[in-house]
Chain A
Amino acid sequence: MANSADYPAGAGQPEKGPPTTIGPLARRERNLAYSMLLPTFAIVMAVVLAPLLANFWISFKPVGLGDLRSARLFVNERLRGDLVAPGDVATIEYRLRNSSQDKPLRDVSFADTLPDGLSVVGDLDERCTLTGRDLLCTLGDVEARFRDRVQIEVSADQAFIDNPVEIRDSEAVSHATSQNVLTSFEFTLENFDKIFSASEFWQVLRVTVYYTVFATLGAIILGLFAAQMLNSAFAGRTALRGLFLFPYVAPVIAVAFTWVLLLDPFSGALNAILRQIGAIEQPVNFLGQRAVPLDFFGLTVNFPVALSTIIAIEAWRSFPLSFLFILARMQSIPSDMYEAAEMDGASPLQQFWYISLPQLVGILAILFLLRFIWSFNNFDDIFLLTGGAAGTRTLTVNVYEQAFAVSNLGAGAAVAVVVFTVLLIFSLVIFKYSPQDEG
């Protein structure tokens, strides 16, 4: 039984074949492993998986940004009338208002303490009770935009006149429960209906696909080229390798705003350079122009300027990662393979094509996968560079637009669900068709 060696606790069992239960040692090991993983599980559950589910929940809810502030009862109290001599009568007026324009409140009440020296005269408002100096008014359920007032007539005695107390010193405390739209069981398909029927949705999807595919390819091709250049030793190679990693290490806000300045059509350095060397005649609004017609042998193509620019910048920002991985892989290819090829008279391009590239296929596939997902997920660059204007709105930017610019959290969550679903389908396809040994 070769297997029994793997199960130390099973060795003592009389039955033949591998043991089916686990023994105390294995159980202890398992429990230790679980307890060591527990904190990770807990925080990942709380901050990643739970929000993912919550996102589905919110996407079926008619909830706006304003609904996050729950409705409550505002109570404003003031004294009407003057109390200058003992026996004077005045009115304490409580003005009540439901803070919400569209949500009712339930079990509404408020409590206050009457100042010493004031006593209630006449009939107390029927909604209120007075216990000692504690006033409690119960209003039951009230509608949205509810406004009302409760008036209590009081008379002052000598002690109050001698030592008057500001009526607001004891603040009225209100209590109400409101239906929170996030926790209610009210669902709607409105959000999905809205985003799928919007004419721009398919445009957004198309832009996302272009962006993801070309930014991924760009990053990998640039990385491959850079790695090829730095694979052979020369003076200054280490310095260049460090320099090439700058775009990846620097904060996204720093590089994004630098590119915005650099590409500015009027005061940007890049437009000025291109004009000086005669590459362009008119300044190009790289980040603001949707498309420019280009003639290819009589065929007019609308070249998407802003989209291409943000794709190029994303490739610029992410090529260092693929560069690093490809370079590391290249340097682990044994040099005798190249020496043998030299002996056989293979030219440099043949060596690259028949030796380097096959060795790099694995890492290129992994990089393509990672970069594809990250480019698809990318929000920061696009948001900072164009804000989704000029035909650069991708799905992720659309999430922000819907949820925070239009203030419709539900619609934003619905777009986020689309984002996640596309990602999930993509991952499943990859897992199904990827070779198992790549790890």
Chain B
Amino acid sequence: MRPGPGTLIGLIVGAIWGAIWMIVVSVVFMLISGAVTAPPIGAAMLAGAACGALIMAFEPGARSTGVTIAAIAAVFIVLGVATFGAPIGLPLSAVPLAQTVAVAAFVLATWFAIDRSVGDAPSGRMTRYQFETVVIRVAKGLGLVFFTVMVALPFYVMVMTSLKNQAQLIANPLDFSLDLAQGPAGLFRSYIELFTQYHFGTFLWNTAIVSIATVIITLCFAVPGAYAVARLRFPGQAFLSRSILLIYMVPGIVLVIPLYAVFSQLGLRNSLAGLLIVYPATTIPVALYMLQGHFRGIPSELEEAGLMDGLTRLGVIGKITMPLSLPALASVALYVFMIAWNEFLFAFMFLDNIDMFTLSRGVVSLNSSEVPRQHLMAGAVIATVPVLVLFLWFERFLVSGLTAGGVKG
């Protein structure tokens, strides 16, 4: 053992990770087990600091398996002693299984994070490079935890709330444990009621129709337009290829008043047809912009060869350009589908008749004091799952499609 300046860094890094993992583990513990605890953050910092200092007491080459075991044990022992035998703020007899898992998770996660942060840092003086490496590792690690919690928590709460009932939720807002004894019919009661009593089958159907029709209409309009902008020479081509995206920048709220007035008089307001006029108009400019980027990327020699061999322009588009841009078409279709599926403003303004509701409009109608909260969340889950599944399935397409249009080099 040869404590050096690195020990101080080990203490600080250890304390940070101890506090963070105690908060994360105890919150997850509370959400899953339903038990309530006040996490001993101070003790956790102490435990982490001990682990960090222990690791940093050795030079990187001397950090043997024995040191690792000692470091892991240090977290456990210090935590246990500093909390007088209540490692996560609860007597050991309460929910023993979940507590054991939580303590094990805390000990391992804390050790792992500390080891990854300072595991190869020297125990003596550090160079600027080594010091910054440690800082960046800690920052990246904290960032990963922060982002993961920040993104996952709302979705976790959404799904779990939909599986609970109002009384349980008000009694303990942190208790997201599932009562599996009630069987699937009890667990999914909110969903069953939404589909049987709240017309969610109709909403789902309407949304699917509108989204798919929007995709088809958008592609029918945008493909020829994008081809013309990308390949054909005409006055205004350069201007169009730059400015088409400006249309997408016009806020919906500016269009909604005149469209509301006109559609009211034409009788289009309370109909899916009305939405099918508005949605493509807002998505065509984006689709055109994305597609023209892809069309430009196709070597024009291929098309010229087709022209030389006697194909017409339309023949070239159908037989050469389209087959080559199927991935691009898929990504654009997916993006447009996402926009149409998630659209809220026009659906909310235009639709009054419950038979015409899309999911967005339907979920809003659940937001009243008469409808229990778990129904609202079940509606949110129903609206989210299809688009999320589709997205995860085709993520590669979507990501490349989204970035290809805008990123150069």
Contacts and interface: CB of A to CB of B under 8 A. Distances in A.
Nearest to A273: B27
Contacts of B154: 247, 255, 258-259, 262
Given A43-B280, A259-B154, A30 B27 contact: no
Given A46-B281, A54-B258, A246-B151, A400 B26 contact: no
B281 A43 contact: yes
Contacts of A249: 338, 387-388, 391
Contact of A324 (B150, B224, B254, B402): B402
Contacts of A380: 344-345
A416 B391 contact: no
Contacts of A277: 23, 26-27, 38-39, 41
A251 interface: yes
Contacts of B257: 55, 58, 399, 403, 409, 412-413, 416
B359 interface: yes
Contact of B406 (A40, A228, A366, A377): A366
A362 interface: yes
A48 B147 contact: no
A338 interface: no
Given A29-B232, A47-B259, A276-B37, A242 B395 contact: yes
Contacts of A399: 253-254, 256-257
Nearest to B344: A380
A55 B258 contact: yes
B281 A48 contact: yes
A379 B360 contact: no
Given A51-B259, A252-B342, A39 B27 contact: no
A74 B161 CA distance: 52
Contact of B363 (A34, A253, A264, A272): A253
Query: Is chain A's interface secondary structure helix, strand, loop, or mixed overall?
Result: helix
Interface string B308-351: 00000100000000000000000000000010011011000100
Interface stretch (A101-109, A138-146, A342-350): A342-350
Contacts of A396: 251, 253
A324 B335 CA distance: 14
A45 B152 CA distance: 42
Query: For the complex, would chain B's binding face be called helix, strand, loop or mixed by DSSP majority?
Result: helix
B360 A253 contact: yes
Contacts of B246: 427
A268 B251 CA distance: 32
A345 B133 CA distance: 13
Interface in B85-112: none
B80 interface: no
Given A48-B281, A399-B254, A400-B253, A253 B158 contact: no
Contact of B252 (A362, A379, A404): A379
B402 A226 contact: no
Interface in A124-147: none
Nearest to A28: B313
Interface string B219-244: 01110110111001111010010100
A407 to B, nearest CB: 12
A81 interface: no
Contacts of A294: none
A246 B155 CA distance: 9
A37 interface: yes
B284 A225 contact: no
A33 B237 contact: yes
Contacts of B26: 276-277
Nearest to A396: B253
A379 to B, nearest CB: 5
A416 B129 CA distance: 54
A245 interface: yes
B262 A44 contact: no
Q: Chain A interface: which size bin?
A: 35 or more
A276 B38 contact: yes
A198 interface: no
Interface string A251-273: 11111011101101011110111
A398 to B, nearest CB: 9
B278 interface: yes
A181 B331 CA distance: 45
A292 interface: no
Interface string A239-251: 0101111110111
A124 to B, nearest CB: 37
Given A58-B257, A182-B261, A240-B148, A44 B383 contact: no
B258 A257 contact: no
B300 interface: no
Nearest to B376: A257
Contacts of A419: 251, 253-254
Contacts of B250: 48, 52, 420, 423
A251 B359 contact: yes
B380 interface: yes
A332 interface: yes
A277 to B, nearest CB: 5
B64 interface: no
Given A33-B237, A54-B262, A250 B173 contact: no
B180 interface: no
B345 A379 contact: yes
Nearest to A374: B249
A201 B225 CA distance: 41
Contacts of A329: 407, 409
Interface of B: 23, 26-27, 30-31, 36-39, 41, 128-129, 132-133, 135-136, 140, 143-144, 147-148, 150-155, 157-158, 161, 169-170, 172-174, 176, 220-222, 224-225, 227-229, 232-235, 237, 240, 242, 246-247, 249-262, 264-265, 277-278, 280-282, 284-285, 288, 313, 338, 341-342, 344-345, 349, 359-360, 363-364, 367, 373, 376-377, 380-381, 383-384, 387-388, 391-392, 395, 399, 402-403, 406-409
Given A243-B148, A247-B151, 9 more contacts: A37-B240, A47-B282, A48-B247, A51-B255, A52-B254, A54-B262, A253-B363, A276-B26, A439-B408
12 contacts: A52-B250, A229-B144, A240-B144, A253-B360, A255-B154, A277-B27, A328-B403, A332-B409, A399-B253, A403-B256, A416-B254, A439-B242
**Which 8 pairs between the two chains have the least Cβ-Cβ distance?**
A47-B281, A377-B251, A54-B258, A254-B380, A36-B224, A33-B232, A51-B258, A36-B228
